[in-house]
Structure 1
Amino acid sequence: MSIFNALMGNSTKVDLAKLADEFGPLLIEGEQIKGAYRVVRDMFVFTNKRCILVDRQGVTGRKTEYLSIPYHDIARYAVETAGSFDMDAELKIWLRGDSQPIVKQFPKVANTLRFTA
């Protein structure tokens, strides 16, 4: 089970050819995009070397944060789905050496997180 598999249930797959312009400058030599998923305005991009979390901010979504997480730095992760009274779902990623996780929240409308084998 992986973060990649956990996200597949609540997201829209992104056409990799469309990402070449945006992510080309961010990739290092030998790095290839293997998959990308959009959740509302945010994206999770998986390469052969790392996960890139893309956070679109502001009303227009023009302000963007790219967070690069090498796979070997991920210690563990947790997925919490929204319940009847919860307004959002959460993905938590703990990096080696950090006591606090990176937390990504998703609106309840995107809450179909599930693990796949």
Structure 2
Amino acid sequence: MGLIGGLLGNAGNISENEARKKLVGVILETETIDLAFKLVRDLIIFTDKRLIVIDKQGV
């Protein structure tokens, strides 16, 4: 996923390990990550128990 792809709305896959690092304190230890996508700053994560959407706004 490049900058242009991200700006146009193309989400790129991220690994389960990278997603777990970003969700420390949010995800349960028994929860398994099925799919994880990153769109510029935002994250969309599908687990076996729920859908987690992280919308990071500017600081």
TM-score interval (norm. to shorter): 0.5 to 0.7
Which whole-Å CA distance do the structure 1 matches of 2:19 and 2:29 have between them? 17
The 3-state SS of whatever aligns with 2:25 is helix
Q: How does 1:1-117 map to 2 (within 5 A)?
A: 10-58=10-58
Which whole-Å CA distance do the structure 1 matches of 2:32 and 2:26 have between them? 11
Q: Which structure 2 residue ranges, 5 or more long, are not aligned?
A: 1-9
- Which one has the bigger strand percentage? 1
Aligned pair count?
51
- CA shift at 1:42, angstroms? 0.9
Aligned CA RMSD, in angstroms, stands at 2.0
Which whole-Å CA distance do the structure 1 matches of 2:29 and 2:12 have between them? 27
- CA shift at 1:22, angstroms? 2.2
- CA shift at 1:14, angstroms? 0.8
| Residue identity matched to 1:49 | K
Which whole-Å CA distance do the structure 2 matches of 1:34 and 1:26 have between them? 16
- TM-score, with normalisation over the residues of structure 2? 0.67
- TM-score, with normalisation over the residues of structure 1? 0.38
Answer with 1 or 2: which has the greater Rg: 1
Q: What are the Cα deviations for residues 56-84 of structure 1, in whole angstroms up to 9, with x where unaligned?
A: 1115xxxxxxxxxxxxxxxxxxxxxxxxx
| Residue identity matched to 1:35 | L
Which structure carries more relative contact order (alpha carbon 8 Å, separation 6+)? 2
Percent identity at matched positions?
A: 34
Which whole-Å CA distance do the structure 2 matches of 1:26 and 1:11 have between them? 22
Which whole-Å CA distance do the structure 2 matches of 1:16 and 1:49 have between them? 15
Q: Which structure 1 residue ranges, 5 or more long, are not aligned?
A: 1-9, 60-117
